[in-house]
Structure 1
Amino acid sequence: MEKTAFWKQALVSAVLVGGAALAWHYRTDLQELWASTSATGQRQADASAQGEGTPVIVADVRQVQDDLAFSAIGTGFALRSVTLRAPSAGEVTALDIAPGAKFTAGDTLMQLDDTDEHLAVDLAEARLERATSERDRYQALQDTGAAATARFEQAQTDFKVARIALDQARADLADRTLRAPFDGVTGLASVETGDRIVADETVSSFDDRSRILVEFDLPEALLGRIEIGQSATATTPAAEGQTFDAEITAIDSRVDVSTRTARIRAAIDNAADTLRPGASFALRLELPGKTYPAVPELALQFSRGELNVWRVSDGQAEQVTVRLVRRREGLVIVDGPISEGDHIVVEGSQRLRAGVAVNVLNTATDGSS
């Protein structure tokens, strides 16, 4: 019995000595913990003694515009673009088409052999001259009553036919020349001087590159945020490292039922002729939205299928139901009956009930204590 008692005493003594050593080693940490616990207890006791209610930390409601950045990929097109085709059949006698060559509307691009057409015009002019002379002569005789009415009418008919024949000959002559339809540049020619071509044969492409049009699809949910004249920015691998200003110029009149998107067209000024039709473009648009209240994420509570926040009004807690619009950089944009400057609880909301008195521990608008 005596040995057992001695063993127990030795064990207890060792535990006490070890505990005392640990307490001495961590004496600084224990002092800080004791001081913190005491301060917290004292603050809660003071609050309870003064009857100020549940301690909370609040933040002010801010008004934030729900702007969105939208990015899309589209293909560039020339402002105007056509395929040049031969106006008639014949031999190519002159060809001015070259890749990137600039032309003004009406400039000659290709000439076909027009020898026969010039002769036809000369012949038609001679026939018209004779028909005009006959008509004028019978007109003079008709006035004196010496010419029959039937012969005068025939002379008038011959004059009209001759004039029509001359117009047709001149049109055929004009068809021997291919001219620029508008100010623009040509592409690669598919024919050469000396080739014999047929009517409507493809000759080259012709583009007005003064502006490049880029088309892309916009979701129907964002249609209310875009309008004609709105600005955008564009980049393309064809001009690496450069950013171009763009402008919305057209919005399609309907939404595609299969994709639920609408076709949008943007225009990029290309006066420097840097860009080419057919290139891919990445566009970025800043889409303005409505203004909504915004609160810190910590203020939101999910209860019974609804999102709520606690608003402090006249020293009491009031629960307000809101709808989530969007999350942005630590804030939550919501829609609900709260206004800018309202005090919203961000810490301590777990202990709140409707109508409970609260003790606001901070005054900072960002919710810091």
Structure 2
Amino acid sequence: MKSKIKSIIAKQPWLLAALTLLIVGIWMGSGFLDREADQSTESGETLGVSEGDVRVQVDAREAQNIQRYITVYGNSNPARTVEMSTEAEGRIETIFARRGDRLNAGDPILKLDMRDRQARVDQAKASVYEHQTRYDAQQSLKKDGYASDSQMAETLAKLEAARAEYTRAKLDLANMTIRAPFSGTLQDRTVEIGDFVRAGDTVGTFVDNTNIIITGSVAERDAGNVKVGDMANAMLVTGRNVSGNIRYVSQVAERETRTFVVELEIPNPDGSLPAGVTAEMRISTGEVLAHQMSPALLSLSSDGSLGVNTVDEFGRVQFYPIEIVQSGNDGTWVSGLPKTVQLIVVGQGYVSQGQQVDAVPMPLDTAMALGIRSELEPLK
């Protein structure tokens, strides 16, 4: 029987093709495919996803209140800096202080040769005594009618001139000694014994480093959040952490940079903090509601906005623009999200706003390596 069938097929092969088409037609007309499609559709409606939906991993996140800081880079400077100069001419006779010495206000730094200045003071003092005696005598004579008003006025004028000359002589003598203008440190001295100086010549630099001023600039958007008296911290390039109060905030922006100058005053009673070094200020601007996450979860929207992708209660992708509040070794804190979100942690780079996705909870291994799996292909 089998040999006869094989013989017939060999002679007439079109019979095999016709038989195959007949069997397929009967199977399709039976409704089996429709029932299978209905079952597949019902299954898809039950799950809320389709075979084409991208599967992503999500993690439930809740925002926290954290302290917000503005980071400002600047330099440390003494609270006061004075270029000392002479008010009289002369030769340097004595030097009392060396560079780096800490002095109190009024302590001598150097002295000029006084020449005849002491003699001028003594002469002016004697002249005052002489004219005072004459004036007193004329007052007695005037009472008896022996001195006129014009004589009294002339004698008084000479007395006042003598007093003025005496004051100038004493001031000139005092100017022979250069003294510390306030408590601080002699930063530099540019003269030595024997040098001749003229009035107005600079002889050194004196600084007040009992307080250190860290000066930096804040952006326009942050200037309104910084107030005089606010507490702030700073990290010096030396590695030392210090704290103080904001003492000055500029009211006019720098024309070139559109930034505002800010000064942070740091107590430095022992003079241990260096001036002229780089510092990083952190100025607190209050609390903000923020989410903590890996920087790898951040993405860009079609218009270039920085944000993150989340999944809403209907399984659709929602993109939220965010603002970075602060970054550190523990991750990035961002604001701009609802208090609770289903954050896409795997596959966020392969979805778009409004797209239907198959969201599954983040497994433990993804949590242990958050930020690495986010760059892998989405799960299918």
- TM-score norm. by structure 2 comes to 0.65
Q: What amino acid sits opposite 1:140 in the alignment?
A: S
Q: What amino acid sits opposite 1:334 in the alignment?
A: G
Q: What amino acid sits opposite 1:325 in the alignment?
A: I
Assess if the C-alpha contact under 8 Å between 1:62 and 1:295 holds in 2.
Answer: no
Assess if the C-alpha contact under 8 Å between 1:225 and 1:289 holds in 2.
Answer: no
1:133 CA drift (Å): 0.8
* In 2: Cα distance, 1:260 partner to 1:91 partner: 49
Assess if the C-alpha contact under 8 Å between 1:65 and 1:288 holds in 2.
Answer: no
- Give the aligned partner of residue 325 of structure 1: 322
- Give the aligned partner of residue 33 of structure 1: none
SS in 2 for 1:225: coil
- Give the aligned partner of residue 111 of structure 1: 111
Asked if 1:143 corresponds to 2:143, the answer is yes
- Give the aligned partner of residue 21 of structure 2: none
The farther-off stretch of 56-65 and 87-96 is 56-65
Asked if 1:131 corresponds to 2:131, the answer is yes
Assess if the C-alpha contact under 8 Å between 1:322 and 1:334 holds in 2.
Answer: no
SS in 2 for 1:212: strand
* In 2: Cα distance, 1:301 partner to 1:112 partner: 71
- Give the aligned partner of residue 271 of structure 1: 269
Unaligned ranges ≥5, structure 2: 7-38, 50-54, 326-330, 346-350, 362-366, 368-380
* In 2: Cα distance, 1:190 partner to 1:305 partner: 58
How many residues are paired up?
A: 305
The CA deviation string for residues 92-150 of structure 1, in whole angstroms up to 9 with x for no partner, is 11111301111111111111122411111111111111111111111011112122332
1:186 CA drift (Å): 0.7
- Give the aligned partner of residue 241 of structure 2: 243
Asked if 1:204 corresponds to 2:207, the answer is no
Assess if the C-alpha contact under 8 Å between 2:218 and 2:259 holds in 1.
Answer: yes
Assess if the C-alpha contact under 8 Å between 1:66 and 1:290 holds in 2.
Answer: yes
* In 1: Cα distance, 2:97 partner to 2:303 partner: 74
Assess if the C-alpha contact under 8 Å between 1:84 and 1:202 holds in 2.
Answer: yes
1:89 CA drift (Å): 0.6
SS in 1 for 2:138: helix
* In 2: Cα distance, 1:91 partner to 1:304 partner: 73
Unaligned ranges ≥5, structure 1: 6-40, 353-359, 363-367
Q: What amino acid sits opposite 2:321 in the alignment?
A: L
* In 2: Cα distance, 1:301 partner to 1:178 partner: 65
- TM-score norm. by structure 1 comes to 0.67
Assess if the C-alpha contact under 8 Å between 2:68 and 2:288 holds in 1.
Answer: no
Q: What amino acid sits opposite 2:217 in the alignment?
A: D
Q: What amino acid sits opposite 2:98 in the alignment?
A: A
- Give the aligned partner of residue 75 of structure 2: 75
Assess if the C-alpha contact under 8 Å between 1:234 and 1:246 holds in 2.
Answer: no
Assess if the C-alpha contact under 8 Å between 1:76 and 1:281 holds in 2.
Answer: yes
* In 1: Cα distance, 2:277 partner to 2:293 partner: 44
Alignment of 1:147-296 (within 5 A): 147-228=147-228, 229-236=230-237, 239=238, 241-288=239-286, 290-291=288-289
Quote the sequence identity (%): 21
* In 1: Cα distance, 2:278 partner to 2:162 partner: 56
1:82 CA drift (Å): 0.7
* In 1: Cα distance, 2:94 partner to 2:303 partner: 83
1:191 CA drift (Å): 1.4
* Distance of aligned partners of 1:323 and 1:58 in 2 relative to their CA distance in 1, 3 Å threshold: closer
